[in-house]
Structure 1
Amino acid sequence: MFCTKCGAKNPEDATFCYKCGNEMYGTTEKSPKNLPNNNSVNNNEEESDKKKIAIEEEKGNPLAAFWGDVFDFNKKLGRRDFWAAVIIMAAINIIILALCLWLNFVPLWWVYNILFMVASISASVRRLHDTNRNGAFVLLNLIPFVGQIILLIMLLQKGETSSYVSPRWDGIMAMATIVLVIGGFLVGGVAYSDYQHQQEIQDEVSYDSDYDY
């Protein structure tokens, strides 16, 4: 007789399967081809679990949602996916800027900014679609201050798409926020120092011109 669990052939008087230990119930002989293959079932379950994990990881990756449909302006993008990606990409922007200044190769930062700008426009249009608005509202960004604030309010509003960010990205977002804060202080300090330097140069030029007279 054949084991109903693993399909192994056993003696007619066997009480337990010699291969898997399953209890035999005097099952009528059947071809192993007609019996379920336990190994194949387990393999199918493992493949199914891997696919589910891969799908969940893709859904929980804000950068994949941000960059994945960069040339598709018709889809929707959830609020948390959008802002998580923006924060992380802004932090990367600061890191690349610091690296470019250290290497004295600023064109790399320009290339990154162009790519980031295109991706941001696409993501903003999809975020507006998620709030049931026309993507053309992204043009409000061209209106200094007032238009930019209105667009910001629209992008912050809750939409239809439910966002799911994997827990591991919460730590990455926290680190990116810290980088943004520190980078903001450093950029502000450098800008203020440069402003003071320019003022000193202007004062020296003004003093020399007065002295000549």
Structure 2
Amino acid sequence: MNFMDAVKSVYSNYVGFQGRARRSEYWWFFLFYLIAYSVLYAIDLSVIGFPALSGIFALASFLPSLAVAVRRLHDTGRSGWWILISLVPLVGFIVLIIFYVSDSQPGVNQHGPNPKGVVAAAADAVTGG
């Protein structure tokens, strides 16, 4: 999944907490969020003087960010409730980073088919291989 596909996927599935999200979808969206927020914050400070645009962007992106994080946890075979470990200072952040960089659980799990397998099957169908 490339950068634009990941951003489109996250925003088109903005309240979809079911299913699985590949590492590439999660991390491309994370990069998009960091860049967009930083640019908007810089514009806010230089033009407006307070973080209006970046605040609106953060609010608009809250549910999509939460949904893709939960789907990423699902992809590793974990419950989305693990997101609450972020409430534990420092340790929660480290645990979530480890979960987010972990490889997908192979095959089908309780949250659906492996998105890697779905992409590979689609590629095989297109190429005939």
TM-score normalised over the length of structure 2: 0.75
SS, match of residue 110 in structure 1: helix
| One-letter amino acid of the structure 1 residue matched with residue 12 of structure 2 | G
Partner SS state of residue 115, structure 2: coil
Equivalent residue letter for 2:53: L
Of all paired residues, the percent bearing the same amino acid is 23
Which one has more relative contact order, counting CA pairs under 8 Å at least 6 apart?
Answer: 2
Q: Distance in 2 between matches of 1:71 and 1:144?
A: 26
Q: Which runs of 4+ in 1 moved over 4 A?
A: none
* 1:196 aligned residue: none
Q: Partners in 2 of 1:66 and 1:142 — Cα distance?
A: 23
SS at match of 1:117: helix
SS of equivalent to 1:61: helix
**What is the CA–CA distance in structure 2 between the aligned matches of 1:109 and 1:131, rounded to whole Å?**
31
1:149 is aligned to 2:94 = yes
Letter in 2 for 1:161: P
Q: 1:139 aligns with which of 81, 84, 94?
A: 84
Report the CA distance between 1:125 and its aligned residue: 0.3
Deviations 1:100-153 (A, max 9, x none): 111124222111112222221111001111111100001111111001110110
CA distance in 2, matches of 1:68, 1:161: 17
Partner of 2:124: none
Map 1:50-61 onto structure 2 (within 5 A): 61=5
* Larger-Rg structure: 1
Alpha-carbon offset, residue 161 of structure 1: 2.0
Q: 2:67 aligns with which of 122, 147, 167?
A: 122
Unaligned runs of 5+ in 2: 105-113, 120-129
Q: Which residue of 15, 18, 24 corresponds with 1:80?
A: 24
TM-score, with length taken from structure 1 = 0.47
| 66, 75, 95: which one aligns with 2:10 | 66
Maintained 8 Å contact 1:77/1:127: yes
CA distance in 1, matches of 2:60, 2:99: 23
Does structure 2 conserve the Cα–Cα contact (< 8 Å) formed by 1:65 and 1:77? Answer: no
Q: Which whole-Å deviations, capped at 9, do the CAs of 1:161-198 have from their partners, x for residues lacking one?
A: 2297xxxxxxxxxxxxxxxxxxxxxxxxxxxxxxxxxx
2:77 aligned partner, one-letter code? N
Q: Which runs of 5+ in 1 are unaligned?
A: 1-55, 165-213
SS in 1 for 2:57: helix
2-structure distance, mates of 1:72, 1:114: 17
